Amino acid sequence: MFVPSFTITNKILNNIAKIEAAEEVIRHSPLLPLWEKQFKEDAIVRSAYHGTHIEGNPLQKEDAKDILQGKNIVGRPRDIQEIINYRKVIEFIDEEANKKIEKITEPIIKKTHRIIADKILPVDLVGEYRLKQVVVRNSETGEVTFRPPTPLEIPFLMREYLYWLNREDKDTIHPVLKAGIAHHELVRIHPFIDGNGRVARVLATLILLLGGYDIRRFFSLEEYYDKDAVLYYQNLQKASLGNLTSWLEYFTFGASVEFEKIKDKILKLSQDVKLKEKFGGKQIYLTERQVKIIEYIQEVGYLQNQIFPNLFPNISEDSVLRDLQDLIKKGILKKVGSTKAARYVIV
């Protein structure tokens, strides 16, 4: 039976506390951007780019964005396909999370690999467990750094893995820890000939989504891993010796960094205590320009008409005034004075 070995350290507890605190702020923030869709699409671009770049895809972030917008770019077909596949697999796990599935099954894991490896691996290797022994080597020295289990062991190890994921007392472990353990164990088993890291990272995200952490809406854990890929792989390798404590410290810290990043963005819009009291938990959705207006007023204290060209150089005064009138109508701003020198301030 698969029984992960780890210790709940103060680092892990502190990281989870930060995640919970950030989640709470985001959930109860009175102001959220109407451009939530833009946030989510940006997270998908970052996930697709960093999730493939960490494994050697040479395309740039702008290339990934262009590909996902349907534009043609110059690049190897395989590199382009990896980006497309990552977008598709994110959509797949979103669908599974929305169904609120009770179990993560072998067909789900194999389908995840089929999407990731589509048009990249030979058809007979897509979504199928490997039948060959493989080794993981240091890309610089060529030294073997990890020897995964033999092909004969994979079906048994995957059954044990799935049993642990779906056991009756599964809710006794925190979703963030569960995601981190699941991530590492799938990489350790290395069930597929290629693409195991991508499957593991996507599966960890699905576990978080099912656990109530909607990180895919705004976040990209892949970006955190890719910023220091050496540290990412070092922590994975260290955990393969048997104890997952240091890996879970790393994993939970990365999640806390991403959660706090978006919390800070949302908090900038909702830091005014009077607004929180005024709307009593109700969330008001703003356009991107309105977000910028609120941020400016929170920083300076007020907004006047003569500032419009500096704040929005390519936007007409009438358009800015319409945004301001809408904010006044929503009860967020008020106008003080009636001439061109009038000021707009937070209510």
In the sheet that holds 343-346, the strands lie side by side as 303-304, 343-346, 333-336
Tallying the residues shown for the chain, one arrives at: 347
Tokens 């008001």 -> residue: 284
Say if CB 244 and CB 4 are below 8 A apart. yes
Give the DSSP H/E element, type plus range, for residue 293: helix 288-300
Q: Which of 53, 113, 184, 190 is catalytic?
A: 190
Say how many C-beta atoms besides its own lie within 10 A of residue 87's C-beta: 18
Say if CB 187 and CB 197 are below 8 A apart. yes
Question: How far is residue 116's CA from residue 107's CA, in Å, rounded to a whole number?
Answer: 14
Question: How far is residue 223's CA from residue 295's CA, in Å, rounded to a whole number?
Answer: 26
Question: How far is residue 223's CA from residue 232's CA, in Å, rounded to a whole number?
Answer: 11
Taking CB atoms within 8 Å and a gap of at least 24, the contacts of 116-120 are: 116/85, 116/86, 116/89, 116/195, 116/198, 116/199, 116/202, 117/85, 117/192, 117/194, 117/195, 118/81, 118/85, 118/88, 119/81, 119/85, 120/78, 120/81, 120/82, 120/85, 120/194, 120/195
Give the DSSP H/E element, type plus range, for residue 31: strand 31-33
Say if CB 61 and CB 45 are below 8 A apart. yes
> Is position 190 annotated as part of the catalytic site?
yes
Tokens 């590909």 -> residue: 67
Residues forming the active site: 190
